Structure 1
Amino acid sequence: MDPVKDSKPTRRFPAILPHVRHFSRALHPKVLFAWENSVQIRSSNTSWLDGLRGIAALQVYFFHFFGLHTRWGNPYGATPEDVYIHQLPLFRGIWAAGSAAVCIFFVISGFAITIKCLTLLRKGQHLACYESLASSLIRRGFRLYLPVVLVGIPGLLLMRTVNMVEAGTFSFELERKNSTMEQLLDFVHRSDAHISPFNYPEMQEYKDRYPYAPSSWTIPMEYYGSIVSYLTILIVSRIAAFKLRCAVIGFSSLYALHHGCWWASLFLNGMLLAEVTLEQRHRAEMGEKHAAPTSRARHILYQIPFILMFALGFYIGGVPPKVLAFDFSPLPRVGYQWLYNFYPPSWLFEMQEDTRFLWYWSGMFTIIGISQVPWLRRVPESTFCQWLGKLSFSLYLVHPAILAVLKPHTDRLIEGLGAGRGVKCAFDFMVLTPICFIVAAATERWIDQPSVTFARWFEKRITRQEAEKSVELPLGRQLEMEEQAPLVERIWPEEEEGKESSAALLGSSGSSQQRASHDRIS
């Protein structure tokens, strides 16, 4: 008998099918864009801040992308050639407000890292507050800098393998070294200088540039702003009067702004906003039983000033610098020229970049206006904006490298077809934007979440003896709400009497991936 004929055929294809299904699931859009099992609309009063952070990160992306296709320093009518509709103030507040969006980041971070401690202080839980501060100080540096360095490693490889200078603004020729060893040593040196807590951050991003992740110039400011906020918590921890606490925080913010530390001032403003939010919530709870019904007209009249404040912040967000370093003949900025009259004298506010003063107030007006108008908060509370908030930190870090590497190739492709400037911009946007979000989703899953997990593991590791002695978790741990970095954050409401706090921390599902996303920090 022929053994070949008698043997049964092996079924190879059915054995491969599970792997094919697994691979196809990995390519599903919900997985590629990190939408699956992670986007949930929060019912808390502060969930809109998470969505607003996502919107601000999207504005930064728009600012960098469209800034490569147009002269972002020229609004509509600045020159006879500047007559495009996207240059009008209504649209500049969307794509040209990246600098104002950075100010929004800092305010949100200041709010997020202090609201838990302020809540504990209001409840008289001083020991829990101090323990929470110690925990935050341990984790904060890892949470901010670890993703930056890990994202910088692919930046190092790209620096040596592709031309990242052609797109402009993201990489410069002098940053590319002659050999791989020199480039590696430069990476180590610059990473050390970037993350060192003993270097005071510069007031201009170009002086503290990290070429392997260029957008991370704000991270040292995030770290120092966090330290200032933690110190201020200690200062006001024994002040019982609400108005006096606000006065101390507000004066500290103005003093920081006076010396040009606009990032620290914005952090303190976020802390002040958190204090006011908690006071409003407390008064609303105390007055529910005795307050008379309020008319709809009175609600509308109360919201009108904040709506105007939001509109003013949106408008100022698109203001270009009065003088650009690469513009040898600055022209009047039509539609914004009157704003430059509000520059304060140097003896009052030492702003090395004058326009930063306007962007500062743009961020403040925008976030204050949204905080007091419920229907304005519905947009950042939407599912899409909550998803943006989840990816905001990763998108903020990775998009400059993607634009620097891919944009020259897409430009050459579309130019070969004889397309105009508008068609080229639309083509680049449709091709590069999905790629940026896919890479941001992968970075969020494989770098951002593990960084949070590592920071928590490190804290538990070095505080293991104290954890073993404690029989019961203190209230500070029960209400634990992670601080977040410039770009992604989950802000959870304080539960009544601490109930359901662990459920709020772990989320509705028990998956480890969701737990990591709930611990996200800006």
Structure 2
Amino acid sequence: MEDRKRWLDGLRGIAAAIVAWFHFTLGEMKIPYRGFWDEPVEQNHHFIQLPPFRMPFAGKAMVTLFFVISGYSVPLAIIRLRGQNNNSDCYRKLTSSVIRRCFRLYLPVIVVCMISQMLFFMGAYYSWSFSKKEGCPNAPPWSAIWGHLRCFALSLLSALGFVEAEFASGLNPQLWTMLIELKGSFAIYLAIIGLITATPNTRLMILALLNALFLYFGFQESFCFFSGLLLAELDVLNQVHLRAIAPVTHKAPSKKSRLPPAATLALFAGGIYLLCLPYRETALEDYWYSSKLSVLPFWDHPIKRISTWWSIGSVMLVAAIRSLPCVKDMLESPIARFLGEISFPLYLLHQTFIRVLRNPILNGVCWRFWGMSFEATRADEAGSHVYYLSWMIAAAFIIPLLLVSATVMTRTVDRRSISLAHQVEDWFSGR
């Protein structure tokens, strides 16, 4: 089981890095976000527009991959204990997981909200233009303390689901995923309890039926979490089967592919393709995957349709990687493992670094070497070399600083939140 955890961490880390890069380039780089069939056609001759080369810019799709990974990894340690000591070990692990999940998700969120609010108070966001649903419009820098406190409180309440996120996303719009992660985890815990006495085949059939219903009715987030749970159940059942036949065959249990190699590779390639499908704010109905399908009447919104295809791609990718040792080895490489260790702080912190540092660096480089603003340099074909230089300098400055900060936060906040959760658990249980 531990090897699965390692490659899952690597996959999560790479997904977090893609999300950070997506937000770093979004709105400024145009070509990577164009569909290959977009108009005008003469601009569609770049490999970066095609899968798998588009993957570094598939930030929105990576969110669905996060949900599948959580659905797979959250229940593994729990269902592995099912059937032991009359399920008492399983119950104890489950209750412990519920408490730790809350602290694991929200203590780092509080710290990030505090950091970003302090920077906003000091005027560090001066170069960033917020949308109507973001920022703190009633809290100017260096004044209106109550306005800043209110913005900070609304950001936390939004992440907890007590207020509508669209009215209170504040300085960290990426926190909308926190509530979905919490609700998805709790739904998985409830499913584990409800199916704890079911036979393995019954459990698999019920989970498969639930996933079919979630997919049909367009609940793509639930589909991601419960697909992850189904894959975890299949793997635990496979491990139990291998351990059972080992004494009979007198051979050490070996891991076998669940699908023929060709089918596994096709599943992997299909998942990559769906995750690379581009997102557009308008004219989504032009895409084949956004067309109205009579058999799927509940996919009633273009964004829901593309998100559902991304969800299907995420499930396909995780399902395939389970049977691809070469891909798992890459996901267990030192770089992937490092990104996996800092993935959560990296996801939480990246928006703050981008919004505070990116635009001043881009503008500063362009003024220094071309005598124009970043916007003017981008429009001037003769200044294209300075335009690209500004991106390289911004990336060279922000990326190391972000990685170091995420590492520090992992050690000082993320790990300590888990330790605090264990202390609270001991206090609740009287230990």
- Fold similarity call, TM over 0.5: yes
Contact conserved, 2:6 with 2:332, CA < 8 A, in 1?
yes
- Aligned mates of 1:229, 1:339 — CA distance in 2: 29
Aligned residue among 252, 268, 278 for 2:210: 252
- TM-aligned CA deviation for residue 380 of structure 1: 0.8
- Aligned mates of 1:347, 1:174 — CA distance in 2: 36
Deviations 1:427-447 (A, max 9, x none): 222221111111111211222
Change (3 A) 1:132 1:366: same
- Aligned mates of 1:51, 1:282 — CA distance in 2: 25
Give me the TM-score of the superposition, normalised by structure 2.
Answer: 0.84
- Computing the radius of gyration over CA atoms, which structure comes out larger, 1 or 2? 1
- TM-aligned CA deviation for residue 123 of structure 1: 3.6
- 5 Å-filtered alignment, 1:496-515, equals none
The residue identity in structure 2 corresponding to 1:287 is I
Q: Does 1:155 align with 2:116?
A: yes
Change (3 A) 1:216 1:57: same
Q: Does 1:444 align with 2:404?
A: no
Q: In structure 1, the residue corresponding to 2:400 is in which secondary structure?
A: helix
Per residue, is there more helix in 1 or in 2?
2
Q: In structure 2, the residue corresponding to 1:91 is in which secondary structure?
A: coil
Change (3 A) 1:134 1:344: farther
- Aligned mates of 2:131, 2:337 — CA distance in 1: 28
Change (3 A) 1:343 1:382: farther
- Aligned mates of 1:457, 1:174 — CA distance in 2: 35
- Aligned mates of 1:415, 1:189 — CA distance in 2: 37
- Aligned mates of 2:223, 2:206 — CA distance in 1: 13
Q: In structure 2, what is the equivalent of residue 37 of structure 1? A: none
Contact conserved, 1:59 with 1:97, CA < 8 A, in 2?
yes
Change (3 A) 1:415 1:332: farther
The residue identity in structure 2 corresponding to 1:191 is L
Kindly tell me the number of residue pairs found equivalent between the two proteins. Answer: 404
The residue identity in structure 2 corresponding to 1:316 is L
Contact conserved, 1:411 with 1:424, CA < 8 A, in 2?
yes
**Residues 217-226 or 159-168, more deviating:** 159-168
Contact conserved, 1:75 with 1:89, CA < 8 A, in 2?
no
- TM-aligned CA deviation for residue 96 of structure 1: 2.1
- Aligned mates of 1:69, 1:99 — CA distance in 2: 16
Q: Does 1:135 align with 2:96?
A: yes
- 5 Å-filtered alignment, 1:257-276, equals 257-276=215-234
- 5 Å-filtered alignment, 1:343-382, equals 347-349=297-299, 353-382=304-333
Contact conserved, 2:48 with 2:54, CA < 8 A, in 1?
yes
Contact conserved, 1:48 with 1:381, CA < 8 A, in 2?
yes
- Aligned mates of 1:257, 1:300 — CA distance in 2: 23
- TM-aligned CA deviation for residue 372 of structure 1: 1.2
- 5 Å-filtered alignment, 1:83-482, equals 83-93=45-55, 95-123=56-84, 125-162=86-123, 164=125, 166-168=127-129, 175-178=136-139, 179-195=144-160, 207=166, 210-239=169-198, 241-288=199-246, 302-321=260-279, 323-324=280-281, 327=282, 330=283, 337-341=287-291, 347-349=297-299, 353-416=304-367, 417-418=369-370, 419-420=383-384, 421-464=387-430, 467=431
Q: In structure 2, the residue corresponding to 1:438 is in which secondary structure?
A: helix
The residue identity in structure 1 corresponding to 2:155 is R
Change (3 A) 1:395 1:170: farther
- Aligned mates of 2:80, 2:343 — CA distance in 1: 26
Change (3 A) 1:424 1:88: farther
- Aligned mates of 1:453, 1:292 — CA distance in 2: 42
- Aligned mates of 1:46, 1:312 — CA distance in 2: 23
- Aligned mates of 2:429, 2:250 — CA distance in 1: 51
- Aligned mates of 2:363, 2:133 — CA distance in 1: 21
Contact conserved, 1:61 with 1:399, CA < 8 A, in 2?
yes
Deviations 1:9-38 (A, max 9, x none): xxxxxxxxxxxxxxxxxxxxxxxxxxxxxx
**Residues 425-434 or 303-312, more deviating:** 425-434
Q: In structure 1, the residue corresponding to 2:80 is in which secondary structure?
A: helix
Q: In structure 1, what is the equivalent of residue 378 of structure 2? A: none
Deviations 1:400-422 (A, max 9, x none): 11000101111112212135233
The residue identity in structure 2 corresponding to 1:370 is I
The residue identity in structure 2 corresponding to 1:263 is E
RMSD between aligned alpha carbons? 2.9
Unaligned runs of 5+ in 2: 371-382
Q: In structure 2, the residue corresponding to 1:44 is in which secondary structure?
A: helix
Percent identity of equivalent pairs: 25
The residue identity in structure 1 corresponding to 2:347 is Y
Unaligned runs of 5+ in 1: 1-41, 468-522
- Aligned mates of 1:52, 1:311 — CA distance in 2: 16
Q: In structure 2, what is the equivalent of residue 58 of structure 1? A: 17
The residue identity in structure 2 corresponding to 1:64 is H
- Aligned mates of 1:375, 1:392 — CA distance in 2: 22
Q: In structure 2, the residue corresponding to 1:354 is in which secondary structure?
A: helix
Deviations 1:170-211 (A, max 9, x none): 896763324232121222233134325x67xx8xxx637532
